[in-house]
């Protein structure tokens, strides 16, 4: 491992780890750093992952040269209508964003404030309800704060573990919130009753830093490890092959 990795590069590798062990499913990353993470996973430990160009073309892993998808080999076609088939079959793992997340993983991307008269209108629930009850879901939060990690979300867009527990077994059986990656830490839902748990802290970040930036009590082991650093080969892939223009840094500014 190497110690000269930037925060953005550490986050890319942390996002890549979300897809470890998934095999031949459709990875749907939302955002620059999650997209780089999915492509890094495909190039290294998860070669069977399917990644699209964001429209309908399934892209093979390979050398992008200047980082543009246009230089990659098309190896299949998944029109948008077929994404719903993959979604319903559980053959997809999406990494979404969140305006708010609570301790059980309920996600809000719809509005801030009372639903009948919100202070801010966001993008609506979009596909979050179907995503969170049909296949694995992870989250990417570039700015970890009490505004995002709240005691109670203003509106539930994506279903958390406490709400999934009230669903039928046939539905709740496919509910899986896997990982949350932020600019401070990596979290999962291994706490009591699937509450959010601190999994690792990024270099230079303390457990207290994460707790102070979270609006609820986080579960945590007695010894919280440091987030895995990129290997030398991973850094080379990120810097020279996947993102030579350093777009990854823009998501953390």
Query: pLDDT tens, 191-239?
Result: 999 999 999 999 999 999 999 999 999 999 999 999 999 999 999 999 9
Q: Between 21 and 69, whose confidence is greater?
A: 21
Strand order in the sheet with 136-141: 26-29, 92-96, 136-141, 176-182, 185-188, 197-201
Average per-residue pLDDT for the chain: 91
Q: Let me know if residue 2 belongs to a domain.
A: no
Q: Let me know if residue 136 belongs to a domain.
A: yes
- The answer to whether residues 219 and 192 touch, using CB atoms and an 8 Å cutoff, is yes
Whose tokens are 């992952």? That residue is: 49
The 10 Å Cβ neighbour count of residue 89 is 12
- The answer to whether residues 52 and 26 touch, using CB atoms and an 8 Å cutoff, is yes
Helix H, strand E, coil C: the string for 142-182 is CCCCCCCECCCCCCCCECCHHHHCCCCHHHHCCCEEEEEEE
pLDDT of residue 67: 44
Closest listed residue to residue 234, CA positions, set 18, 39, 27: 39
Q: Let me know if residue 240 belongs to a domain.
A: yes
What's the rounded Cα separation, in Å, for the pair 161 and 210? 22
Task: Residue 167: give its domain's CATH number.
Answer: 3.40.1080.10
Residue 112's beta-bridge partner residues? 120
Q: Quick check: 12 pLDDT over 70?
A: yes
- The answer to whether residues 16 and 33 touch, using CB atoms and an 8 Å cutoff, is no
Q: Let me know if residue 108 belongs to a domain.
A: yes
Q: How many CA atoms lie within 13 A of 80 on its CB side?
A: 3
Domain total for the chain? 1
For the ranges 7-11, 72-76, 154-158, 188-192, which has the lowest average pLDDT?
A: 72-76
Q: Let me know if residue 1 belongs to a domain.
A: no
Residues spanned by the domain of 139? 7-248
What's the rounded Cα separation, in Å, for the pair 195 and 105? 8
**What's the mean pLDDT in 91-104?**
96
- The answer to whether residues 129 and 109 touch, using CB atoms and an 8 Å cutoff, is no
Query: pLDDT tens, 101-117?
Result: 999 999 999 999 998 89
pLDDT of residue 63: 52
Q: pTM for the whole thing? A: 0.92
Cα–chain center distance at 12: 10
Confidence of residue 65 (pLDDT cuts 50, 70, 90): very low
Query: pLDDT tens, 26-44?
Result: 999 999 999 999 999 999 9
Closest listed residue to residue 111, CA positions, set 157, 160, 180, 164: 157
Q: Could you tell me the two tokens for 135?
A: 């296949």
What's the rounded Cα separation, in Å, for the pair 125 and 73? 33
Angle among Cα 240, 63, 75 to the nearest 5 degrees reads 150
pLDDT of residue 204: 97
pLDDT of residue 62: 66
Query: pLDDT tens, 153-177?
Result: 999 999 999 999 988 888 788 899 9
pLDDT of residue 2: 61
Q: Let me know if residue 253 belongs to a domain.
A: no
């Amino acid at each position: 491992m190497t110690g000269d990795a930037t925060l953005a590069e550490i986050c890319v590798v942390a996002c890549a780890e979300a897809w470890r062990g998934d095999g031949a499913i459709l990875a749907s990353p939302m955002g620059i750093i999650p997209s780089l993470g999915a492509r890094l996973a495909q190039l290294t430990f998860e070669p069977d992952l399917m990644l699209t160009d964001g429209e309908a073309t399934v892209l093979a892993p390979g050398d992008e040269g200047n980082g543009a998808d246009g230089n990659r080999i098309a190896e299949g076609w998944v029109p948008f209508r077929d994404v719903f088939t993959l979604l319903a079959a559980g053959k997809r793992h999406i990494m979404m964003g969140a305006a708010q997340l609570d301790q059980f993983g309920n996600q809000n991307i719809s509005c801030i404030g009372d639903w009948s008269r919100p202070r801010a209108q966001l993008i609506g629930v979009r596909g979050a309800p179907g995503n969170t009850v049909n296949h694995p879901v992870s989250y990417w939060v570039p700015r970890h704060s009490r505004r995002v990690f709240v005691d109670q979300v203003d509106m539930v867009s994506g279903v958390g573990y406490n709400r999934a527990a009230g669903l039928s077994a046939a539905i709740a059986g496919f509910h899986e919130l896997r990982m949350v990656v932020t600019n401070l830490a990596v979290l999962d839902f291994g706490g009591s009753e699937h509450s959010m748990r601190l999994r690792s802290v990024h270099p230079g970040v303390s457990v207290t830093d994460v707790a102070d930036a979270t609006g609820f009590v986080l579960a945590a082991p007695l010894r919280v490890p440091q987030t895995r650093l990129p290997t030398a080969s991973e850094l080379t892939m990120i810097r020279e092959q996947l993102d030579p223009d350093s777009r990854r840094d823009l998501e953390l500014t």
